């Protein structure tokens, strides 16, 4: 990334971003720079970008021209244990380090309240074994999620539900205060379900080798959730099938497909370079 950074030592004259012609100049400039990033990454021993939607750059820059005042919504999805939460944390860390306002929201907060089902069957695992499809779009409060994302996009703060990850299946309405910052990052398996995927300005799919995902998932279940290995593997089999059915089909629609096992320090460099090129102007 150093070779890219070295090219940005001279600032360029700042156009009037309040005018359409100024924003068009910005769009052309960003298109050129994004192409540089993609070509640079492609030459790396372990690229972080596995695939790019050919329409992404043009559509993204057109969005900047036509809707400059809207919040930037970035959706990040991927199968369980693909590394999407880790990449979201790195995005947040870098953006905050650059003193830019950012909000991170998980779609897991929008799971339906299934506390009555858990009371009926005795446990979350028993509910799953009864045939309840935990990761299906119908298992999320998709209507509320869409309303909240549209509000955040328009600059309005929201109060999101909070799903308790303690095995009770309880969802508390309007429990989380979420600020509508300039950049809003939304992550989770439901992020690109049909009901909401068109809301996002940038759609990211994170993928990782299945064996790595399996190892991560089982270790996390045992160490962080106190599950025994047999039940962890049973749930892994469920989420593997659910991921193939509900999440993986979105890969072909994503703007960017990222390597979930990539070097985060290198990913941070790319993010910082994007910040550099979008602030490389003098009055």
Which of 180, 204, 226 terminates a domain? The answer is 180
Q: How far is Cα of residue 145 from the mean position of the Cα atoms in its chain?
A: 15
What pLDDT is stored for residue 271 in this prediction? 87
What pLDDT is stored for residue 266 in this prediction? 87
pLDDT per position as a tens digit, 252-277: 999 999 999 888 888 888 888 877 77
CATH of the domain at 260: 3.40.50
- Domain identity same for 96 and 114: no
Q: Tell me whether residue 191 is in a domain.
A: no
Q: Tell me whether residue 161 is in a domain.
A: yes
Give me the DSSP letters along 82-128. SSHHHHHHHHHHHHHHTT--EEEEEGGGGBPP-HHHHHHHSSHHHHH
Give pTM, 2 decimals: 0.88
**If DSSP codes are grouped into helix, strand and coil, which group holds residue 12?**
strand
Which of 151, 180, 209 terminates a domain? The answer is 180
* pLDDT, mean over the chain: 88
- Domain identity same for 111 and 77: no
What pLDDT is stored for residue 204 in this prediction? 94
Instruction: Give the percent of the chain with pLDDT over 90.
Output: 57
- Domain identity same for 83 and 1: yes
C-alpha–C-alpha distance, residues 278 and 214, integer Å? 38
Q: Tell me whether residue 211 is in a domain.
A: yes
Q: Which residues neighbour 165 within 8 Å (Cβ) at sequence distance 6 or greater?
A: 108
Q: Tell me whether residue 189 is in a domain.
A: no
180 and 152 in contact (C-beta within 8 Å)? yes
* Domain housing 254: 1-101+196-283
- Domain identity same for 201 and 90: yes
- Domain identity same for 86 and 200: yes
- Domain identity same for 141 and 84: no
Strands 171-178 and 49-52: unpaired
- Domain identity same for 23 and 163: no
- Domain identity same for 89 and 146: no
What pLDDT is stored for residue 278 in this prediction? 65
- Among candidate residues 211, 163, 169, the one with its CA nearest the CA of residue 188: 163
Q: Tell me whether residue 247 is in a domain.
A: yes
Stretches in the chain below the pLDDT threshold 50: 281-283
- Among candidate residues 39, 41, 6, the one with its CA nearest the CA of residue 267: 41
Which of 133, 148, 180 terminates a domain? The answer is 180
Q: Tell me whether residue 262 is in a domain.
A: yes
C-alpha–C-alpha distance, residues 33 and 12, integer Å? 13
The total number of structural domains in the chain stands at: 2
Phi/psi at 260 (5° precision): -75, -5
- Domain identity same for 85 and 211: yes
What pLDDT is stored for residue 283 in this prediction? 47
- Domain identity same for 172 and 217: no
What pLDDT is stored for residue 27 in this prediction? 76
Q: Tell me whether residue 188 is in a domain.
A: no
82 and 213 in contact (C-beta within 8 Å)? yes
- Domain identity same for 124 and 94: no
- Domain identity same for 47 and 61: yes
């Amino acid at each position: 990334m150093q070779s890219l950074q070295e090219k940005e030592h001279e600032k360029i004259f700042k156009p009037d971003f309040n005018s359409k012609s100024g924003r068009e100049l910005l769009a052309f400039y960003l298109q050129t720079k994004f192409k540089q990033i993609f070509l640079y990454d492609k030459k790396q021993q372990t690229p972080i970008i596995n695939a790019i939607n050919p329409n992404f750059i043009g559509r993204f820059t057109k969005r900047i021209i036509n809707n400059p005042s809207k919040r930037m919504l970035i959706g990040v999805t991927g199968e369980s244990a693909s590394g999407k939460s880790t990449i979201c944390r790195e995005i947040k860390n870098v953006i905050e380090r650059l003193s830019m306002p950012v909000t991170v929201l998980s779609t897991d907060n929008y799971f339906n309240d299934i506390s009555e089902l858990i009371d009926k069957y005795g446990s979350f695992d028993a509910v799953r074994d009864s045939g309840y499809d935990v990761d299906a779009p119908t298992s999320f409060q998709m209507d509320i999620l869409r309303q909240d994302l549209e509000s955040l996009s328009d600059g309005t703060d929201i109060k999101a539900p909070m799903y308790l990850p303690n095995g009770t299946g309880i969802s508390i309405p309007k429990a989380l205060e979420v600020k509508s910052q300039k950049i809003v990052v939304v992550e989770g398996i439901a992020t690109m379900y049909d009901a909401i995927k068109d809301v996002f300005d940038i759609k990211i799919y994170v993928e990782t080798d299945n064996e790595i995902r399996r190892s991560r998932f089982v270790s996390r279940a045992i160490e962080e959730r106190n599950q025994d290995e047999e039940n962890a593997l049973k749930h892994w089999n469920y989420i593997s099938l659910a991921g193939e059915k509900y999440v993986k089909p979105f890969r072909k629609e994503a703007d960017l497909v990222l390597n979930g096992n990539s070097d985060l320090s290198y990913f941070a460099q790319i993010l910082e370079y994007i910040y550099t090129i979008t602030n490389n102007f003098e009055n």
